[in-house]
Amino acid sequence: MTKFQHGLDFGDPHDGLTQDDIVEARTKNQISPPVTWIKGFLSPKQQQLLINEVNHYPLERVSIQVYGKQHLTPRTQAWFGDPGCDYHYSKLHITALAWPKVLSRLRAKLLNDHQIDTNSVLVNRYADGHDCMGWHSDDEPEIVSGSAIASVTLGACRDFVVRHKQTKTKVNFALASGDLLIMHPGMQQHWQHALPKRLKVVEPRINFTFRQIIPNYYR
């Protein structure tokens, strides 16, 4: 089997991924989302280092406007990035916080291992299976055209569901702790994704969604 060498590891050494750990999405009717699922991207020790750091993040529920009404997000979140890489959605402006130490190492690992260059990340924490994310695409105008978006999962295994915008074809990914899902160019234009409620899940899930955005886009 082919070994995929890892660089800039933090925590304990990783033996590398085998081809069996790399999953390309496929559906019966050949309408497939442009994603790559990499199982076990982070080792258990690397995961724990991140979890320990996340416990000190200023995570909060924010109020967003949905169909003209204000609602608190069913999850807590924080936004980190380079200077000028602020986040806008649902009429909110969120100023980027400076990169924490371990999160910065994860950013470097994505670049070194998979050539995914990013300058910002949204951290979402789902307390249990009641917390969720509705259908949407990460297609904000400040995101660099043609760039990939990388999603790293920690904690509880949750279903990450994608849906084609025209055919409504759905594909489910049961993302486990340490997994990486790379959403390639074309994904946001043609597909939506969601994290539905799973009431039997009692443990928290943490997700890091790394993006490349245009600095100072709204200034």
Residue numbers in the known binding site are: 87-89, 124, 126, 136, 139, 193, 205, 209, 211
Q: Smallest Cα–Cα separation from 150: which of 108, 190, 189?
A: 108
Alpha carbon dihedral 132, 133, 134, 135, in 10-degree steps, equals -140
Residue type (1 letter), 49: L
> Residue ranges for the binding site for substrate?
87-89, 139
Q: Choose among 89, 7, 3, 13: nearest CA to 44.
A: 13
Distances from the Cα of 119 to the Cα of 131, 149, 180, angstroms: 27, 11, 17
- CA angle, residues 211, 40, 7, in degrees to nearest 5: 65
Residues belonging to the binding site for 2-oxoglutarate are 124, 126, 136, 193, 205, 209, 211
Q: Tell the residue number behind the tokens 């085998």, with chain if given.
A: 18
The three-state secondary structure class of 162 is strand
Cβ partners under 8 Å of residue 174, min gap 6: 157, 158, 159, 160
What are 94's strand-pairing partners?
A: 87
Q: Cβ distance 199 to 170 under 8 Å?
A: no
| Positive or negative torsion for Cα 130, 26, 140, 56 | positive
